[in-house]
Amino acid sequence: MSILNRFKKKTEAPEKASVATRLAEKDAAAAKKTVKKAASNKEKTTQKKSITSVSKLATSTLLAPVVSEKTAKLSDEGVVSFFVAPGANRVAVRQAFRELYKITPVKVNIINVRGKAVRFGRVQGKRNNMKKAHIFLPKGTRVDIFEGV
């Protein structure tokens, strides 16, 4: 039996080599395709980064404008109010506002607003905590946040 096994191994060896070469050829072709895809993706991402990276940072920091009578009066004086992400600081708010509106603020004030305790019958609850930012604009500049409200 050992003699027959030796003959079988010799006949199988060339088949394995051909399978190995086929796999190597497939891997080489796949590598070429991935290189081409990577090159085309780099071109696409470089174009998209300039558009999306700015808006993601800015929109994750500045959540929404504060719409009230008080903020409407303040906007006449050149102060704009926004709800801000809880982890945002003055520097992040200033950069986000500059990226969104192309205006450098003169001053930024940040206010932490505690949520009120509320009751619905017997059920007690609490409103969410918020963080607001008052952004002071340079004289002569104006940002219309209340358009379409």
Q: What is the pLDDT of residue 83?
A: 95
Determine if the pTM surpasses 0.85.
no
How many domains are contained in the chain? 1
Q: What's the mean per-residue pLDDT of the chain?
A: 79
Question: What CATH number has the domain bearing residue 59?
Answer: 3.30.70.330
**Is the pLDDT assigned to residue 90 strictly greater than 70?**
yes
Q: List the domain range (segments joined by +) for residue 98.
A: 1-144
Structure tokens at 58: 């800015």
| pLDDT tens-digit map of 28-86 | 776 666 666 666 665 554 444 444 556 687 788 999 999 999 998 998 899 999 999 99
Structure tokens at 109: 């004030």
**Is the pLDDT assigned to residue 131 strictly greater than 90?**
yes
| pLDDT tens-digit map of 97-121 | 999 888 999 999 999 999 999 999 9
Within a domain: residue 149? no
Within a domain: residue 111? yes
**More confident position, 27 or 141:** 141
Within a domain: residue 62? yes
**Is the pLDDT assigned to residue 125 strictly greater than 50?**
yes
Within a domain: residue 104? yes
